[in-house]
Amino acid sequence: MRDRLSVLIAALLLAFVTAASYWYSREMRKPVSRTPPTPGTPDFIVDRVVLTQFDDRGKARYRLFAERLSHFNENDDLELQRPRLVSLLPDQPQVQATSLRARVINAGERVLMDGDVLLQRAAGPTQPALSIRTARMTAVPDEERFTTEVPVTIERGDARLDGNAMEYDNLRRVMTLSGGLKGEMAPAPR
Amino acid sequence: MRFSCLIVLLALALPVHAERADRDQPTIIEADRGVFDELKQVNVVTGRATLTKGSLRITGERMELRTRPDGYRMAIVTAAPEALATLRQRRDATRPGIEETIEGVAERIEWDERSETVRFFNRAQWKRLENGVVRDEVSGSVITYDAVASTYRVDGGERGDGRVRAVIAPRSPEGAKSEPAPLRPATELPAGRK
């Protein structure tokens, strides 16, 4: 009878130890609980930020300046206040893009620029300077494509173009204007 | 054998020119759509396209614009099917009280800013008007109008009846007989002239 009791106590103790260690390991594996950020609010903010993108050999390609950069955890988007993007490619005319606000979505696949959008390209050896002004513009940086569905003003050398929608392909260097356009070219110099 | 009639005419014995002030005017393009190719240096606008430069006005459905290395422009204007491209320009006044204009239509119009020539291709018609009254009228397959030399050349071409038709008003000293324009003081300098 005593033997049976001691076996029972040992079995109970073993069961308790097993249950306790199981509970403990469960507790240990639980993620540290953290208050998740409310959707729509940034999880981090950086003021007066300068970001530089380098190529494979460590040479700077683009530099981005912004008064404020906000990151959103739920979709990894970036929101920029007064962004200015400058190209540093030595063999190409410098390109600069500025706007009041910009939202970088889908891991940089698309950039939605909003308010006083200005895209400028410096004069090169074969082409004059180019500037594109509009209120809103969508950029696809990898494809170097820029589109806008609102009125746009383009200045290229001494020519000026006004359109109601634009698509610009900087790789093919082809610009398409639609919805009515007006172009003005200065008289030929003589 | 190429059957074509060819006439080269001095448009007028008087020294008339396309409006000189037009030269210093900007070129204005209007259209529904446009494709501007920077690498090929070709710009094409389509949809009710117009080109204006001072008193010069060209209309058509499609315009191909090029800029020469020296900065001068060229335009090839084509009409919509069944329609005709048009050109209209005022000429420098040589006789007081008479406003001269030229008007031309064709399926295709080629304008060259540097040489100041205009070529009209297919179903081409060209008119010279004085105060809105047609004085000279020619039609043919190809008409070349040289604004500097004030000449036009008409080619009947191989299409149609291959004939050139020209109606040229007699050069009576009508201008001299008509009432001279009253003198009045100039209140402002004409733009673009010195």
Mean pLDDT in order along chain B per 10 residues (194 residues): 45 49 89 94 95 95 91 93 94 83 95 92 92 89 85 70 70 52 65 50
Other beta carbons within 10 angstroms of residue A187's beta carbon come to 19
Neighbour tally for A137: CB within 10 Å: 25
The predicted model gives A105-133 an average pLDDT of 92
Instruction: State pLDDT tens for residues A45-79.
Output: 999 999 998 989 988 888 999 999 999 988 889 99
DSSP state of A28: H
Cα gap A62→A69, rounded to integer Å: 17
Positive or negative, the CA dihedral B147, B152, B155, B160 is positive
**pLDDT for B160:** 54
- Judge contact between A140 and A110, C-beta under 8 A: yes
So what's the pLDDT on residue B173? 53
Q: Which helix (H) or strand (E) holds A20?
A: helix A2-29
Find chain A residues with C-beta within 8 A of B193's C-beta. Answer: none
Handedness of CA A122, A128, A131, A137 (dihedral sign): negative
Mean pLDDT of A126-153: 93
Listed by number, the residues of chain B in 69-108 with a beta carbon closer than 8 Å to a beta carbon of chain A are 70-73
Which carries the bigger pLDDT value, residue A31 or residue A90? Answer: A90
User: Quick one: pLDDT at residue B5?
Assistant: 45
A132 touches chain B (CB under 8 A): no
Q: Which domains does chain A have, with CATH numbers?
A: 44-185 (2.60.450.10)
pLDDT of residue A37: 65
Strands B108-112 and B73-78: antiparallel
Q: Does A175 sit within 8 Å of B29, measured CB to CB?
A: no
| A92 shares contact with chain B (CB less than 8 Å) | no
What is the interface pTM, i.e. ipTM, of the complex?
Answer: 0.74
A123-128: Cβ within 8 A, 24+ apart: A123/A93, A124/A92, A124/A93, A127/A93, A127/A156, A127/B38, A128/A156, A128/A157, A128/A158
Question: What integer pLDDT is reported at residue B155 of this predicted model?
Answer: 79
The predicted pLDDT at position B12 comes to 42
Contact residues, chain B, for A174 at CB < 8 Å: 35-39
Give the rounded percent of residues in chain A with a pLDDT score beyond 70.
95
Q: What does pTM read for this prediction? A: 0.74
B29 touches chain A (CB under 8 A): yes
Domains and CATH numbers, chain B: 6-172 (2.60.450.10)
Closest partner residue to B33 (CB to CB) among A172, A178, A190 is A178
CA of A33 vs chain B CAs: smallest distance (Å): 57
Which of A176, A180, A183 lies closest to B28 in CB terms?
A: A183
| Winning range, highest mean pLDDT, from A82-86, A125-129, B91-95 | A82-86
Q: State which residue of chain A sits closest to B54, comparing Cα positions.
A: A187
Number of A–B residue contacts, CB under 8 Å: 73
**For residue B178, how far is the Cα from the chain centroid?**
27
Q: What is the pLDDT of residues A8-50, one digit of tens each?
A: 999 999 999 999 999 988 888 877 666 666 778 898 999 999 9
**Cβ contact A188–B36 (<8 Å):** no
- Token pair recorded at residue A29: 């594996």
